[in-house]
Amino acid sequence: MKAINHLVLAGHDLEAMRSHYAGLGFTVTPRGQHPFGTGNSLIQLNGSYLELLAVTAPQDIPEHRAGNFSFAAFNRDYLKHHEGFSMLVLDTPDARADGKAWGAAGLQTYEPFDFSRTAKLADGQEIVVSFSLAFVSHPAAPSLGLFACQHHTPEYFAQPRYLQHANGATAVADVWIVGDTAPDLAGFMHIVTGAKAISEDPSVTTLQTRIGAIVLNAPAGICKSFWRRRGASARRTAPRCVYARMRRLGSRRLG
């Protein structure tokens, strides 16, 4: 069974996002720059993290090609319609094996993607961090970014200085994928995560991963006003990540 490795939180202005989340009591890492046109900062948590992301060099963004998924192009296009949680990222010890397994199960997969970037440790030392990614998608959820991330430098993502947050946040509790057909993704998400899908009622299905739960929600009735306040339209929408909650010291949730 997989775990939630991190969530990509896309916005138009990275510095504004860094300031906003620092103001909410999160410790934010220094800026990083991807070689494909996006920049980021991280909010490191126990076993997972939030990735604050913006397009910083649009001229460097590679387009999608047949059989090749572009992380940067997906987030650029997502930001034309929304700010917020653009991608759900799972952990993996072997991204290439995941891609092959998902493809064998009949899912839409893409060529594996490897890249490196520079990063700064808490003491200011600059290092190189490397990744291998396996992307997967569902035709009914074009706004749901989903991939497995193999970290080749995992120690960078668990630095004690950056794991301490004034608001007490410790881990991702759950992420909500919202849309009228979101519960219909249960079988797909089961294959991708290995987690069992449990339906509390026809509008809510939960998959408990090793770290964090994935909730598939079709808003109905009074719930629609709740999701409108969090950026989901009352009209029919394709499933996408809308909301996430953090665990905090004492097991209470921030959300």
pLDDT digits (tens, 9 = 90+) for 87-137: 999 999 999 999 999 999 999 999 999 999 999 888 889 999 999 999 999
Q: Model confidence at 222, in pLDDT bands (50, 70, 90)?
A: very low
- Contact between 118 and 97 under an 8 Å Cβ cutoff? The reply is no
pLDDT at 159: 95
pLDDT at 221: 40
pLDDT at 250 over 80: no
- Contact between 121 and 127 under an 8 Å Cβ cutoff? The reply is yes
Considering the entire predicted model, what is its pTM?
0.92
User: By three-state DSSP, how is residue 97 classified?
Assistant: helix
Cα 201 from Cα 218, distance rounded (Å): 10
- Model confidence over 159-174: pLDDT tens digits? 999 999 999 999 999 9
- Model confidence over 52-68: pLDDT tens digits? 999 999 999 999 999 99
Q: Model confidence at 231, in pLDDT bands (50, 70, 90)?
A: low
How high is the mean pLDDT of the chain?
92
Percent above pLDDT 90 for the chain: 85
CATH class name, domain 169-254: mainly beta
Q: Model confidence at 220, in pLDDT bands (50, 70, 90)?
A: confident
> Where exactly does CATH 2.60.40 map onto the chain?
169-254
> Where exactly does CATH 3.10.180.10 map onto the chain?
4-163
- Contact between 34 and 70 under an 8 Å Cβ cutoff? The reply is no
> For domain 4-163, which architecture applies?
Roll (3.10)
pLDDT at 238 over 60: yes
Contacts of 149 (CB under 8 A, 6+ apart): 5, 6, 89, 90, 91, 92, 95, 131, 132, 133
pLDDT at 88: 98
